[in-house]
Chains A and B, each alone.
Chain A
Amino acid sequence: MTLVVGKRVAMIAVIDYNAGNVQSVLFALERLGAPAILTGDHAQIRAAEKVIFPGVGEASTTMHFLRERGLDEVIKSLTQPTLGICVGMQLLCAHSEENDTPCLGVIPQRVKKFVPVNGEKVPHMGWNSLSRCADEIFTPELSGEYVYYVHSYYVEEGPYTSALSEYTLPFSAGLHKDNFYATQFHVEKSGKVGEMILRNFLSL
């Protein structure tokens, strides 16, 4: 399926790796008039104009699955705008504390587990606000808006942080390095704010 964005013909590939709720991502794209293909095919992913790497699941199992199918190398070599969501974002990093898992290493940051400091619950579940929004998909007016999170692991604030949220400590709501973008929250479930961020990504 294709979508006309401006005068170009774009194709969006959502990486199919058997991880949780990809249907929600497909539906969110459909609502934005940007139907996508769900695919694990290397050539299709490489040829797409944009790639979405969704994720719900456990880090080591997911990395294993990606390696088995050679998708780890495919993802690392992508040059088109690529969006990691939730565990997808964590796997773009260098290492996750979740079962001590070496990840893709696209973004040199580490994934850690939340440690409650004041009786906070883990997973961090629900709507939390964004701050310091600072790239093309996290436009400045999004600071203060709420997005929907479900996660137990987080990426610390660092040089590639493109937006922040706070839960026990400030953490990366988003990451951005070169053509790789990422959201820790579920952009596909984050109401109108999520739609705006997705739309920003689609119009890169």
Chain B
Amino acid sequence: MLAKRIIPCLDIKDGRTVKGVNFVNLRDAGDPVELGAAYSEKGADELVFLDITATHEKRKTMSELARSIARHLNIPFTIGGGITSIDDADAMLAAGADKVSINSAAVRRPGLIDELALNFGNQFVVLAVDARQIDGEWIVHLNGGRIATEIRLFDWVKEAESRGAGEILFTSMDHDGTKAGFALEATAHISELLSIPVIASGGAGNMEHFYDVFTAGKADAGLAASIFHFNEIAIPDLKGYLKEKNVVVR
């Protein structure tokens, strides 16, 4: 049986993980590779690295990071943050990244999805989308949720799929940081609308939230950051809990 995936997300700035990380037994919790390896050891199914560095040298530092992760980790990972062209994506693939995630750049220029899918295959392209509800309608937001667009979430993910996205990473800005659970209805709607996998993000606060997003939310994977980083939920415990509730996990 295909297992539901648990994905920790690491934010990287200047080659170091940001957001405090409260891991014991880690020599250097700020080292993305060491932290990634620790998650892999604990049973994480995949990792997402988001590089939030803003420099002219970004492509070079990101590809060095991807190379270092690929060299040391034996599970798949996605890298994102500022990928806006085929050349950016090609550098990540050459470095050993399994997938790239694109977000605002794809909204600004949807053809980027087609270009990446055509050159590297659909499986390489994760379309990340941040959205929140405005007057009862889910609306796509840019730049980490700060800028509203006029694009409806469900239209956008459908278009992204038809252009060649291989996976959707949906973050509800309404739920992100609340620890009150994922956006179940919107996630389920995307999952039913599309025939590609959906990663749910935003709102995880306890283990039950993951159960909910895999059942009522119909998500293929659940992503979270701080609850894993601060060890509020240990991945082995989460997997044990889900197994007991008959959710298939690795």
The interface of chain B, by Cβ under 8 A from chain A, is: 1-3, 5, 40, 45, 67, 70-72, 74-76, 93-98, 120-123, 166-167, 194-197, 220-221, 250
B121 pairs with A127, CB closer than 8 A: no
B residues less than 8 Å from A70 (CB atoms):
none
Cα separation A93 to B128 with both chains bound (whole Å): 36
Q: A3 near B: Cβ within 8 Å?
A: no
Q: In the complex the two chains form, is B196's CB within 8 Å of A148's CB?
A: no
A126 B71 Cβ-Cβ under 8 A: no
Which A residues lie within 8 Å of B5 (CB)? Answer: 126-127
Chain B residues contacting A125 (CB-CB under 8 Å) are 123, 166-167, 197, 220
- With contact pairs A23-B95, A24-B96, A127-B3 given, residues A189 and B71 touching in the complex (Cβ less than 8 Å): no
How large, as a class, is the contact surface on chain A?
35 or more
Q: Which residues of A contact B3 (CB under 8 A)?
A: 126-129, 146
- Are B195 and A121 in touch, CB under 8 angstroms? yes
Given A23-B95, A56-B123, 5 extra CB contacts under 8 A: A58-B121, A126-B2, A129-B1, A190-B74, A192-B74
CB-based contact A121/B197 at 8 Å: yes
User: A58-B121, A121-B196, A121-B220 in contact; A23/B96 too (CB < 8 A)?
Assistant: yes
6 A-B pairs with the lowest CB-CB distances in the bound complex, closest first: A23-B96, A146-B250, A127-B3, A127-B250, A150-B123, A189-B76
CB <8 Å contact, B45 and A20: no
Interface residues of A in 150-204 (CB under 8 A from B): 150, 166-167, 186, 188-192, 194-195
**Would B123 and A127 count as touching, CB distance under 8 A?**
no
Smallest Cβ-Cβ distance to B95: which chain A residue: A23
Q: Is the CB of A116 within 8 A of B195?
A: yes
- Bitwise, A122-152 to B at CB < 8 A (1) or not (0) is 1111111100000000000000001010100
- What's the minimum C-beta distance from B203 to chain A, rounded to whole angstroms? 22
Q: Check A57 against B121 for contact (C-beta < 8 Å).
A: yes
A20-B166 CB under 8 A given contacts A121-B196, A126-B221, A167-B2: no
A126, B98: Cβ atoms closer than 8 Å:
no
- Whether the pair A127, B166 counts as a contact (CB closer than 8 A) is no
Give the contact stretch, choosing among A8-16, A25-33, A45-53, A104-112: A25-33
Most buried by B among A128, A129, A150, A167: A150
Cβ-closest chain B residue relative to A194: B74
Please name all residues of chain B whose beta carbon is closer than 8 Å to the beta carbon of A27 when the two chains form the complex. 70-71, 96
Report chain B residues within 8 Å CB of A148: 75-76
- Is B40 in contact with A191, judged by CB distance below 8 angstroms? yes
Residues B197 and A126 in contact, CB atoms below 8 Å apart: yes
The chain A residue sitting closest to B191, CB to CB, is: A121
A2 within 8 A of B: no
- Check B2 against A128 for contact (C-beta < 8 Å): yes
Give chain B nearest CB distance to A47 CB in angstroms. 27
On chain A, the residues within 8 Å of B75 by CB distance are 148, 189-191
In the bound assembly, the distance between CA atoms of A28 and B72 in angstroms comes to: 8
* Residues A24 and B195 in contact, CB atoms below 8 Å apart: no
B218 smallest CB distance to A (angstroms):
9
CB atoms of A124 and B2 under 8 A apart: yes
CA distance A192 to B96 in the complex (A): 18
Per the bound structure, the CA–CA distance linking A31 and B97 in Å amounts to: 16
Which one of A20, A167, A192 contacts B121 once the chains associate, using CB atoms below 8 Å?
Answer: A20
The docked-state distance in angstroms from the alpha carbon of A191 to that of B39 is 12
Q: Is the CB of A20 within 8 A of B2?
A: no
